[in-house]
Every structure is written in structure tokens, then in C-alpha cells.
């Protein structure tokens, strides 16, 4: 029983990381209708920035906040410089651009920081809490993610800017007619997605360690979470990410060798999608024919 609780809680902690990245994917998807394959590498790059800042002597939380800010600006710049020019191009062009971005970020990180694995500090105590039910790090990750999600929710729900961003993603033409600067809203969406990814990267780095390929697996799980919850639903993507995290942990502990847990988790998700293609919480896309 305690082992089960342990496994579930530690799954929730990993799931929180998947959920954050899944949310970042959904935010971009809602605005551009394509999946940002570079989201994981962007998060990886942000994590290296945090590492650099910590190495330079900044206290962890100062480095964390500064990283989030830098990532936001980086996301805005990526949208303005790389994504904007292909905005009206077909989806395949987006895919190529995003994959190009992935490769470039990976190579640049490798070039600057080398491919040797680095340790990344955790700001949380590593000792077990509540009679061993959860480690300090896992609890910290869950709390930070929860705080971030609530902030985002409040921003989109209660501020005029958040509403304008939702409007711009939903119906750009109408948003322009209301005087909303749609181009900037999309850029801010990229900034926020990059910031959310940065949080995910920094939270997972103490466990995965730092190297330019650290996020490739995480991105896959996040993608699975987003699809499972429904790529059209931010809340669904978060729940999907959490489910994937817990599932992955339970499958790896109880059912099969951990080498197979990724395939098993993905097989389960494919099964769900076969039964319910729009994901658990997604809207069914109505196509006019």
C-alpha cells in the first residue's frame, strides 16, 4: 500500500513536468494549429541558462526567475524572427521549421556546453517526507507546477490581456477587428509557452541531469499527455500529462521491465485515441465538407 502511494506520488511529480510541457505544446497548437517539436529543446536550452546563472553564483530562485524571464523573451523572439515569416505557409512548412529549430538548439547547446552530462542542483531537500510517502524534491516539483498552473489560469481567465490572447488564438480576424494586435498576442503565446517549458526543464533537470538530449523523452511523454487529454484543451493536456506520469511509473514498477514502460504507456494512449480520437477532454473538431 505504502509502495503504491509512493509510486503514484512520484508519478504525479514526473507527470507535473509532462503536464507543463504538454500545456506549452497546446498553447502553441491553439494559435498555430501545428505542434512545436522544438518545445523540448527550448526547455533544455532554458535549463542550461539556469545552470549557467547558478554557476555564476546566483541563488537558485533568483536564477530560476531570471531564466523564466529570459525564456519568455526568447520565445517572443523565436516567434517574431522564425515563425512569423512562415505564418501563412502550409503545415508541412511549420513542421520543417520546428524540426530545424530543434536541431539548431540541440547543436548550439552541444557546442556551448558540450555533450557531457552535468549535475543540476535541486532547490528542495532530498529527504523523504510524510513517512517516506514522497521525497522533498517531488513535493517541491508538484507545488511549483501547481503554483504556475494557477497563475496561468488566473492570467488567461481574469486579465484583459489574457482574454485578448485567447480571442486572438480563436478567431484572429475578429480579434483584429476589435483592435487586438494579433501578431503580438501570438508572440506572447510563444513567450509564455517557452517560460512554462523552462519551469518544466528546471524541475526535471535534478532527476534527469543536464545534457542536450535530456528533453527528448520528456517531450514524447508530454506529447502523449497532450494527445491523451486532447490537444485542443489546456486543462485536458495538464490532466493527460499527469495521467501519463502516473501510468508510466506504475507500469514500470508493477507490470514490466522499465525498458518497456515507454512503449506500454504509448500503447495505452494509442488505444484511448482509437476509441476517442479527440482525446479524453478535447473538442471534436467539426469539419465542414
| Interacting residues toward another protein by CB under 8 A | 160, 163-164, 166-167, 170-171, 173-182
CB of 165 to another protein, least distance (A): 11
Cα→Cα distances 136→6, 22, 125, Å: 12, 24, 5
- The residue (of 185 and 218) whose beta carbon lies closer to another protein is 185
Residue 126 CA to residue 175 CA, distance in Å, equals 48
CB of 44 to another protein, least distance (A): 33
- The residue (of 118 and 176) whose beta carbon lies closer to another protein is 176
- The residue (of 3 and 171) whose beta carbon lies closer to another protein is 171
Length of the chain: 289
| Alpha helices, DSSP H, located in 114-181 | 136-158, 160-170, 172-177
CB of 283 to another protein, least distance (A): 8
Return phi, psi of residue 128, to 5°: -70, 145
Cell of 12: 504525479
CB of 15 to another protein, least distance (A): 27
Residue 24 CA to residue 190 CA, distance in Å, equals 8
- The residue (of 88 and 259) whose beta carbon lies closer to another protein is 88
Residue 238 CA to residue 230 CA, distance in Å, equals 10
- The residue (of 35 and 164) whose beta carbon lies closer to another protein is 164
Dihedral of CA atoms 41, 257, 239, 3 in degrees, nearest 10, equals -120
CB of 133 to another protein, least distance (A): 40
Amino acid at each position: 500500500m505504502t509502495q503504491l502511494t509512493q509510486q503514484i506520488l512520484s508519478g504525479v511529480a514526473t507527470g507535473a513536468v509532462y503536464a507543463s510541457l504538454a500545456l506549452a505544446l497546446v498553447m502553441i497548437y491553439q494559435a498555430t494549429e501545428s505542434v512545436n517539436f522544438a518545445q523540448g529543446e527550448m526547455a533544455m536550452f532554458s535549463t542550461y541558462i539556469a545552470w549557467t546563472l547558478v554557476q555564476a553564483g546566483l541563488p537558485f530562485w533568483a536564477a530560476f526567475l531570471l531564466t523564466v524571464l529570459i525564456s519568455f523573451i526568447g520565445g517572443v523572439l523565436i516567434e517574431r524572427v522564425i515563425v512569423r515569416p512562415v505564418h501563412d505557409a502550409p503545415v508541412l512548412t511549420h513542421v520543417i521549421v520546428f524540426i530545424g529549430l530543434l536541431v539548431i538548439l540541440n547543436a548550439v547547446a552541444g557546442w556551448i556546453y558540450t555533450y557531457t552530462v552535468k549535475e543540476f542542483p535541486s532547490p528542495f531537500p532530498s529527504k523523504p517526507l510524510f513517512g517516506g510517502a514522497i521525497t522533498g524534491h517531488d513535493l517541491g516539483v508538484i507545488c511549483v507546477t501547481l503554483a504556475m498552473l494557477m497563475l496561468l489560469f488566473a492570467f488567461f481567465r481574469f486579465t484583459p490581456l489574457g482574454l485578448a490572447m485567447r480571442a486572438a488564438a480563436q478567431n484572429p480576424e475578429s480579434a483584429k477587428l476589435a483592435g487586438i494586435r494579433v501578431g503580438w498576442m501570438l508572440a506572447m503565446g510563444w513567450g509564455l509557452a517557452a517560460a512554462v517549458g523552462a519551469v518544466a526543464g528546471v524541475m526535471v533537470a535534478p532527476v534527469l541531469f543536464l545534457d542536450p538530449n535530456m528533453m527528448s523523452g520528456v517531450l514524447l511523454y508530454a506529447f502523449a499527455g497532450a494527445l491523451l487529454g486532447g490537444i485542443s484543451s489546456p486543462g485536458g493536456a495538464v490532466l493527460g500529462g499527469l495521467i501519463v506520469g502516473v501510468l508510466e511509473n506504475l507500469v514500470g514498477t508493477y507490470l514490466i521491465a522499465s525498458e518497456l514502460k515507454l512503449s506500454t504507456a504509448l500503447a495505452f494512449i494509442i488505444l484511448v485515441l482509437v476509441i476517442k480520437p479527440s482525446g479524453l477532454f478535447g473538442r471534436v473538431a467539426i469539419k465542414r465538407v
